[in-house]
Structure 1
């Protein structure tokens, strides 16, 4: 009886051996990419600019800055909901080229008393449609607010961003002090200590008007700098990580060089 030959085991191809230098390079690239991605994500959300004003500031212009976060879809609708627990007595919307705005008002159960009389109807919602924010761009939607609400140190707005594929991103989560920033934070306007009488002229000076191409005031520039702090910190951390790993790689190469020479 004829016996069949023994089957030889199949050998798997040997994977290339990673050198210490290759490992360090890969680790540096991964660390930098991770930190940069985190910094970009943290800074790309709807904000109100400026983000802080004195409580007695009046007739100030604010921009709701809306970035497009999708790589392929455009933003086609932006909705800003005004707070009802601390209503704002009056608001005027600046025309944004290419967009159509719709203002919705609501009647208050308790009127707001102002120097110009009682206010019973306030703006509760503004919706912009008809335009597009393409990938890699942002748009400022500008609103002039009258007297700011009393009895609070912040005004929390809610923003809904609709993309061309129908997806809606709801920026409605209120950030909490001492806690990590939520995934979809709502735009928050912080109200600081009321300005003194001598500073009233500064407090009443209008902020920039128009679209994203308008000039920024000194306070607006400062607010922008604050909003970019997270990105700057991320870039700094990435640089430190890459630098440390690069130094380690240099030391390793130097040791290997001395070893090869002595041989």
Structure 2
């Protein structure tokens, strides 16, 4: 229904209760929405936005906590943004709705209670897709993050500062397209990288980032890149086991110390 509405000129916003359940509509998203423009020879745009909670929540178990970003990122024709703040959530959503192609707005459920400035009065907020944001400047290591790993990375950077390690925190905001310019500029400055991601490690967003960094500026690296993803296991219900599986500020700190030789 939503794809058909988009083909007739509307700009529907489809909300999934959780992106884990978007897999029920997987065929419509990756076969119909993403391919319609090319399969119709350019006759039909599909300006549709898919939004909803994505990734880990709190003790919801394996069926409600899938992080789907690397799954959807594999399909041409989809754009994917991952806001971490109220401001980014609104600015990216507005940009997604105005895009003439399918966009996924993957919202971190654990960040729904976040508070902050959204849109200044008299100013329309539109945040371009594919534009990362430097959340914190540093000199010793770059922590690349997105969605719920952003507050973790910032907390880790605060803790590392007490140990005289200066961490730069780069929030991707969009993972397709990636802002490789911002990534490479930061890495060329710090020469060490940790990628914090809310998805599992195998074929993840971090894998793509690591590949592109070593391909473009390998000689700038002073240490192998470290990743801090979920563990590659089904998500347990038990709270302690869940915390053992998920990325955390403490795990990011440990990864940074490893690349810095501390």
TM-score normalized by the length of structure 1:
0.25
**Greater helix percent: which structure?**
2
Q: Which has the higher contact order (CA 8 A, sep 6+)?
A: 1
